[in-house]
Structure 1
Amino acid sequence: MSQIRALDPLDAASDLPRDARSVLELAARSMFQLFADTAEGMMVVDRSGRVVWISEGYKQFLPALGLKDEADFVGHRVEEVVPNTLMHEVIATGRPILVDLLTNKAGTFLVSRIPLRDEAGEVIGALGLVLMAHPESTMQPLMKKFAMLQRELDDARKQLAEQRRPKYTFASFIGSSPQAMEVKRQARRVAGTDSTVLLLGETGTGKELLAHAIHAASSRARRPFIGVNIAAVPETLLEAEFFGVAPGAYTGADRKGRDGKFKLADGGTLFLDEIGDMPAPLQAKLLRALQEQEIEPLGSNQVIKIDVRVIAATSRDLPALVAQGRFREDLYYRLNVVPIRIPALRERLSDLEALVEALEEDIARRSGMPHREVTPEALEVLRRHPWRGNIRELRNVLEQVSLLTDDLRLDAHHFARVLSPGEAQAAAPVAAAADEARTAGPQPPQAPHVRPLAEAVAELERRAIAEALRITGGNKLAAARLLRISRATLYEKLAAWPELRQLS
């Protein structure tokens, strides 16, 4: 006992209680008194959250809280007299909040909250301490860092939300032709459902834009829109890209694991572009995910339930691929619930003028160049072009022409420079008439037998790809290896030359 008496911080001269219980009670009273003396304010609430006691120091904050005296505070529920308090959370969970910033109309305070327990360990209330009033003055560097981190977190959340928000609406799908109006009618109708949609159409017709628009008009609009281009992802990575990776699934894997596109799109929409290029081994797993609405990450035995609406798109002939055994028939029927065919640009040339105007405005906005006017003669030249790349090709041509001249009016002769030789020759009478109206001076001699270098290189590439596909029997992966280019690069080239697809 002499050793215990020597450790007594209260009164070394007095005799200590003989039992440990009394020692603990004395220690508790000592700590309570220490808190009351050192804290700027202290309160005690019971298990129902009512204030039962406040220290003399705490009374200094009552006027700032809009209260006249102690009677307006004690006996009331703590959330009624202290805005933004978390005392009720401490009572409910039994876990302390040792350091926190509390901000309300009385100011900003550094506070601590500790649960109080009875002999059986049950929470009977909580102790709240104001450690420091107005810490923004005495803890300015820490407060600045906290504010900076909060801003960075808010910015990151905003950027993430922007990336996953639909970029386009039905207003973005430009056109008033009967074909365009029918596409929008079908898309608006299906947007109100959760049905799987299959968008069909040539490359560059606006399939991804329409997918965004369907999501934006659906009940899932506030949830993520996640898109993945299957042709652009290496075959060996597709499973992990879709279904995610469990922690430590393989050497070098992230110890925290990685969510796949299905998990990221949970509650929202998953857009599968170029679905016709999905490898056969993965088609069965995709079918299960669509049917059961559940996935199994790579390297995991855990099945995760998901809620995802799928919109698929392809420029390929899926029924032909099914007939060839290169695409699962059951997966095709699962995707082909609501098919929407998007017409090629040459099938809705009445929309060409509106598309040109909208694209010119967007090019000017993005590039900082002045807005260009396209003359009726130039529009006539554009109508004669076959537009194998559709609206994507149209935008490319308009951007090229805008970069090659400072003229604010784009005439027929401007487009003759960038169109292929066949279209350029067809445009020659229109371009000549426009030139004659603009100037009577002599025209420079033409050299039709000399092809632009870019066209010559493109033709060489086209022939090399055609030969590689012929040698490999249409196997794109083998053809890409033979050409020493990536599979994704080969798909980009094939998108530019649709006539080569029959070789694959």
Structure 2
Amino acid sequence: MTSEPTLPLDGQRILELAARSMFELFANASEGMLLVDRNARVVWINDQYRRFLPALGFPREEDFVGHAVSEVVQNTQMHRVLETGKPILIDLLSNKAGTFVVSRIPLRDEAGDVIGALGIVLFDHPETTLQPLIQKFAALQRDLDDVRRELASQRRTKYTLANFVGSSPAAVEVKRQARKAAQSSSPVLLLGETGTGKELLAHAIHAASARARSNFVSVNIAAVPDTLLEAEFFGVAPGAYTGADRKGREGKFKLADGGTLFLDEIGDMPLALQPKLLRALQEGEIERLGSNKVVAFDARVIAATSRDLAALVREGKFREDLYYRLNVLPIKVPPLRERRADIPALAEVLVEDIAIRNGTAPFDLGTGALEMLCAQRWRGNIRELRNVLEQAAMRSDAQRIDERQVEQVLRDAGIERMPPAPMPAAAGGAPAAGVLRPLAEQVAALERQAIQAAMAATGGNKLAAAKLLGISRAKLYERLELAA
């Protein structure tokens, strides 16, 4: 063992005086001191410590001093200090005499060998002496518990299939496919325009699966800068780069272990990162940024995109092997214009949700307002429908929204307005004339009305009418032949 450099005589004298002063300070200011030798026997106690002896069960000092410390002080850790040579600077000790805040310090000889240990009772009755510190710690602990509960709630599913509103053939088919996907662990690819409810379906598939009790973790790839995506996915090893957390950080793949990882806007995945994502999906293993250690994970992946992945593959912007890896269970989520019959039910649910969030009573939608909503093309789908309803609610002082107010919102928003189309049901859910006809007939009638309105608006130009309706020209010809 290397010895300390020898101090000059005046320096040695100062060190001895400092040690004596510190000892006297603790002896006088503390609530008690106890000294044990290298064999963990008590060899000395000060006057303050003597007052604890009756409570510990020793009426005489000689019954305490000279005995092994573990025999006379319950729950002592002095032997551990002697074994390790390391101090225990702050600790709580509870025994027959009460609860104390204590320090335990090893004592060494000139050669550096441990020859004993000093125990110092810093405070007795910490429940009163340290009450401000204890209160602050309790408040911090409550805050930490609240954050943990909030984080856990965010990682649970928010929606089930019951939240996917609609009874149209298109909506029923989507829910059927989602239930089937929930029974599998294979990747799911949700395809559809923005605002159609792809994230809701991802939550619902997780909620109906065997992984429902585990985390649902989502990453919006389009919202994360390319340079941060790798760390977001795979995590960061401790000290991986300057400024990195010393403890490291778990990535979303590991956070989703045992549950579901939802990769939203997968079509925006940078090409350079796609091979690492493919390897993670194939091998079930990841490497944190700055680490060579392979970490296994078990997460079911659901991906979603509003882009045409097949076209991106053809353009060389998306890896073909990754596309096939994700496209195992594809589910096409239809745009709102392809399930117009669901608009009244959707509007009712959205109106109630808007009222709850704003703390107001739900407003009524007049028949004319509903007819106009059903006729629109809804480029933004359900998200756009919600926005229009919310704007109408904020602008109106009445509890009823009529056609004129909806039209004004559409005009101000620059939304291409379609003429109103008759509704299959009256406002409030009451049956209207012909509502008890088969649903397919009602949908077909609604389609014919929309086509007629489009043809009238474009002066009979079939190509322009098809674009207005968001369907191909061939599909328009097919519908016209059926209507003939």
Which residue of structure 2 aligns with residue 14 of structure 1? Answer: none
Give per-residue Cα distances to partners, 1:318-366, cap 9 Å, x unaligned.
2233233332221111112222222222233332222112211221222
Does residue 356 of structure 1 match 2:347? yes
Task: Report the alpha carbon displacement of residue 312 of structure 1 after superposing the two structures with TM.
Answer: 0.4
Structure 2 counterparts to residues 239-278 of structure 1, below 5 A: 239-246=230-237, 249=240, 253-256=242-245, 259=249, 261-263=251-253, 265-267=255-257, 268-278=259-269
Amino acid at match of 1:256: D
**Which deviates more from structure 2 when the two are superposed, residues 287-296 or residues 145-154?**
145-154
Which residue of structure 1 aligns with residue 368 of structure 2? Answer: 377
Task: Report the alpha carbon displacement of residue 133 of structure 1 after superposing the two structures with TM.
Answer: 4.5
CA distance in 1, matches of 2:277, 2:78: 48
**SS of corresponding position for 1:285:** helix
Which residue of structure 2 aligns with residue 427 of structure 1? Answer: 420
Task: Report the alpha carbon displacement of residue 402 of structure 1 after superposing the two structures with TM.
Answer: 0.9
User: Is the contact made by 1:227 and 1:273 (CA closer than 8 Å) also made in structure 2?
Assistant: yes
Task: Report the alpha carbon displacement of residue 208 of structure 1 after superposing the two structures with TM.
Answer: 1.0
Amino acid at match of 1:426: P
Amino acid at match of 2:243: D
User: Is the contact made by 1:108 and 1:133 (CA closer than 8 Å) also made in structure 2?
Assistant: yes
Does residue 411 of structure 1 match 2:402? yes
**SS of corresponding position for 1:198:** strand
Which residue of structure 1 aligns with residue 90 of structure 2? Answer: 99
Which residue of 396, 400, 409 maps to 2:391?
A: 400
CA distance in 1, matches of 2:394, 2:134: 50
**Structure-2 change in CA distance of 1:39 and 1:288 (3 Å):** same
**Which deviates more from structure 2 when the two are superposed, residues 193-202 or residues 400-409?**
193-202
Give per-residue Cα distances to partners, 1:257-292, cap 9 Å, x unaligned.
663643552413321111122222221111011112
Does residue 162 of structure 1 match 2:153? yes
Which residue of structure 1 aligns with residue 128 of structure 2? Answer: 137
Task: Report the alpha carbon displacement of residue 157 of structure 1 after superposing the two structures with TM.
Answer: 2.5
User: Is the contact made by 1:416 and 1:428 (CA closer than 8 Å) also made in structure 2?
Assistant: no
Which residue of structure 2 aligns with residue 453 of structure 1? Answer: none
**Structure-2 change in CA distance of 1:94 and 1:304 (3 Å):** farther
Amino acid at match of 1:335: L
**Structure-2 change in CA distance of 1:373 and 1:297 (3 Å):** same
CA distance in 1, matches of 2:137, 2:350: 44
CA distance in 2, matches of 1:179, 1:287: 32
**Structure-2 change in CA distance of 1:260 and 1:99 (3 Å):** closer
User: Is the contact made by 1:203 and 1:315 (CA closer than 8 Å) also made in structure 2?
Assistant: yes
Which residue of structure 2 aligns with residue 212 of structure 1? Answer: 203
Which residue of structure 1 aligns with residue 142 of structure 2? Answer: 151
Does residue 196 of structure 1 match 2:217? no
Task: Report the alpha carbon displacement of residue 228 of structure 1 after superposing the two structures with TM.
Answer: 1.9
CA distance in 1, matches of 2:323, 2:55: 69
CA distance in 2, matches of 1:412, 1:88: 84
Which residue of structure 1 aligns with residue 293 of structure 2? Answer: 303
Which residue of structure 1 aligns with residue 311 of structure 2? Answer: 320
Does residue 225 of structure 1 match 2:216? yes
CA distance in 2, matches of 1:301, 1:324: 34
May I ask how many residue pairs the two structures share in their alignment?
Answer: 399
Give per-residue Cα distances to partners, 1:407-448, cap 9 Å, x unaligned.
111122221112258864613999xxx9xxxxxxxxxxxxxx
User: Is the contact made by 1:416 and 1:427 (CA closer than 8 Å) also made in structure 2?
Assistant: no
User: Is the contact made by 2:206 and 2:212 (CA closer than 8 Å) also made in structure 1?
Assistant: yes
CA distance in 2, matches of 1:86, 1:207: 58
**SS of corresponding position for 1:426:** coil
**SS of corresponding position for 2:304:** strand
**Structure-2 change in CA distance of 1:142 and 1:236 (3 Å):** closer
**Structure-2 change in CA distance of 1:92 and 1:317 (3 Å):** farther
User: Is the contact made by 1:294 and 1:305 (CA closer than 8 Å) also made in structure 2?
Assistant: yes
CA distance in 2, matches of 1:266, 1:385: 39
Superposition TM-score, scaled by structure 2 size: 0.62
Give per-residue Cα distances to partners, 1:20-59, cap 9 Å, x unaligned.
xxxxxxxxxxx9xx99xx87899x9xxxxxxxxxx99779
User: Is the contact made by 1:261 and 1:270 (CA closer than 8 Å) also made in structure 2?
Assistant: no
**Which deviates more from structure 2 when the two are superposed, residues 228-237 or residues 402-411?**
228-237
Q: Which runs of 5+ in 1 are unaligned?
A: 1-30, 45-54, 64-74, 116-126, 435-497, 500-504
Task: Report the alpha carbon displacement of residue 401 of structure 1 after superposing the two structures with TM.
Answer: 0.8
Which residue of structure 2 aligns with residue 291 of structure 1? Answer: 282
CA RMSD of aligned residues (A): 5.5
Identity across the alignment (%): 60
Which residue of 361, 367, 370 maps to 2:358?
A: 367
CA distance in 1, matches of 2:51, 2:325: 70
Amino acid at match of 2:90: V
User: Is the contact made by 2:312 and 2:318 (CA closer than 8 Å) also made in structure 1?
Assistant: yes
Which residue of structure 2 aligns with residue 337 of structure 1? Answer: 328
CA distance in 2, matches of 1:89, 1:314: 60
**Structure-2 change in CA distance of 1:108 and 1:256 (3 Å):** same
Task: Report the alpha carbon displacement of residue 395 of structure 1 after superposing the two structures with TM.
Answer: 0.5
CA distance in 2, matches of 1:410, 1:331: 48
Structure 2 counterparts to residues 176-187 of structure 1, below 5 A: 176-187=167-178
User: Is the contact made by 2:102 and 2:120 (CA closer than 8 Å) also made in structure 1?
Assistant: yes
User: Is the contact made by 2:188 and 2:331 (CA closer than 8 Å) also made in structure 1?
Assistant: yes
Amino acid at match of 2:325: R
Amino acid at match of 1:173: F
User: Is the contact made by 1:40 and 1:133 (CA closer than 8 Å) also made in structure 2?
Assistant: no
